[in-house]
Amino acid sequence: EQLDAVCVGCGSPLQSEDEQAPGFVPNSAVGKANVLCRRCFRIRNYGEFLPVQVSERDYQEQVAQIFDNPGLVLYVIDVFDLSGSLVPNLARFVMNSEVVVVVNKVDLLPKGIHYEALSDWILEQVRATRVEAQEVLFVSAATTEGMTRLFHRVNGVTDKPIYVVGMANTGKSTLLNAIAKRFEVQNDPYTVSRRPGTTLALSKFQVEGPTGSITFVDTPGLVHGTRVIDRLCADCLKRAVPDARIRPRVYQLNPEQTLFLGGFARLDFEAGVRQPIVLYISNQLPVHRSKLERADNIWEQHRDDILEVPCGACRSSFDDLKALPIQSTRTRERVPNGTIPVSGRGRDIVIPGLGWITLSGAAFRGRLWLPNWLEPVLRPRLV
């Protein structure tokens, strides 16, 4: 059925096909007057923020409002998927705002992380996109770990809006809910701006801080479409994406052995010295060690019974692998182009969305196999 009405809360055209898209209403609301879309309904009635996802074009239009009315931007990043959290073209919209990078989901990180090194690395990656962030805050919106520092940071910001920006699934809604709860917002706390005709107006809420009222502005979440999480069913997600603190898994690997990270990645150790390889990935993801000479056979014959994830239905996205040479160098010896270099101090090889592999820096020559659309990222060791 064609709906031509708009939500009286946010102005999004009403539709009942896509629950994730703006303006969704259940079929039962079709044809009624003064309808709120489900998102606005829940915001109004339960004081609850829900993720909303929009197309890239609508997204740009939304965030352009930040440029017109600059403020403080809380840029929410998923600690497990930094490259997948970077918002395309954000720089030009926030160039006149202050930007604080809020690194979320730190409850998943293992113990013993060097937060300073992580912070430096994240700032470097964010600045490489020309977003001039000055500060990194580590939080868990889910456990509220680190949230006190965030509240201190925003408490005095009474003279300009605070925008919460982030790609879909970085935890932006969870963060907003945690903020609302901290300030104990009750009784119709959220004013959802009325802007009929726009795809979705930015929704705002005000809270009373120690020195005056603070305005938070929610922005939609942009869907990447090219992350691991975008390509998995619910069951595979549960096993592949970390949802509890990661317990590092250490493998003493000999040359001519292979490690499989489920059916997502494969690390071949061709030559070098026996050494510990540490995996920081979901505790639920099966890891299999085999002889290198058996590895092709396992990949071809045993993805269901040994590697298990992704399932047969999700597998097509992960079928075509590329092999990236890896080489550790104790000296300043050059590695061939296209090779992943591992320095003497070791390196984390990050597989965005899945976790990372730490190589110790001991002599290693081998290959990392990854889905051909997934780019690994090198990082100094965090642990």
Enumerate binding residues for ligand GDP (CB under 6 A).
51, 104-105, 107-108, 140-142, 166, 168-174, 221, 243
Number of helices (H), then strands (E), in the chain:
9, 20
Question: Distance between CA atoms of 296 and 237, rounded to whole angstroms?
Answer: 25
In this complex, which beta carbon is closest to ligand GDP, that of residue 39 or of residue 347?
39
Cβ 77 to ligand GDP, closest distance in Å?
10
Question: Distance between CA atoms of 102 and 147, rounded to whole angstroms?
Answer: 10
Cβ 263 to ligand GDP, closest distance in Å?
22
Cβ 176 to ligand GDP, closest distance in Å?
8
Cβ 238 to ligand GDP, closest distance in Å?
10
Question: Distance between CA atoms of 242 and 230, rounded to whole angstroms?
Answer: 15
Find out whether 70 and 39 touch, Cβ atoms under 8 Å.
Answer: no
Residue nearest to ligand GDP (CB): 171
Question: Distance between CA atoms of 246 and 282, rounded to whole angstroms?
Answer: 6
Find out whether 107 and 245 touch, Cβ atoms under 8 Å.
Answer: yes
In this complex, which beta carbon is closest to ligand GDP, that of residue 146 or of residue 325?
146
Q: Using alpha carbons, select from 134, 129, 68, 130 the residue that is nearest to residue 101.
A: 134
- List of residues 6+ apart from 261 with CB closer than 8 A: 267, 279, 281, 285, 287, 351, 354, 357
Question: Distance between CA atoms of 6 and 37, rounded to whole angstroms?
Answer: 8
In this complex, which beta carbon is closest to ligand GDP, that of residue 224 or of residue 379?
224
In this complex, which beta carbon is closest to ligand GDP, that of residue 172 or of residue 266?
172
In this complex, which beta carbon is closest to ligand GDP, that of residue 175 or of residue 201?
175
Find out whether 133 and 93 touch, Cβ atoms under 8 Å.
Answer: no
In this complex, which beta carbon is closest to ligand GDP, that of residue 66 or of residue 307?
66
Cβ 160 to ligand GDP, closest distance in Å?
23
Find out whether 271 and 365 touch, Cβ atoms under 8 Å.
Answer: yes
Query: What is the torsional sign of CA 237, 46, 168, 353?
Result: negative
For 88, the token pair is: 């395309």
In this complex, which beta carbon is closest to ligand GDP, that of residue 260 or of residue 356?
356
Cβ 104 to ligand GDP, closest distance in Å?
5
Cβ 78 to ligand GDP, closest distance in Å?
8
In this complex, which beta carbon is closest to ligand GDP, that of residue 50 or of residue 259?
50
Cβ 244 to ligand GDP, closest distance in Å?
7
Cβ 180 to ligand GDP, closest distance in Å?
13
In this complex, which beta carbon is closest to ligand GDP, that of residue 219 or of residue 257?
219
Question: Distance between CA atoms of 133 and 140, rounded to whole angstroms?
Answer: 20
Strand (E) or helix (H) holding 56: helix 56-68
Find out whether 348 and 358 touch, Cβ atoms under 8 Å.
Answer: yes
* Other beta carbons less than 10 A from residue 155's beta carbon: 14
At how many degrees (to 10) do helices 147-155 and 172-182 cross? 70
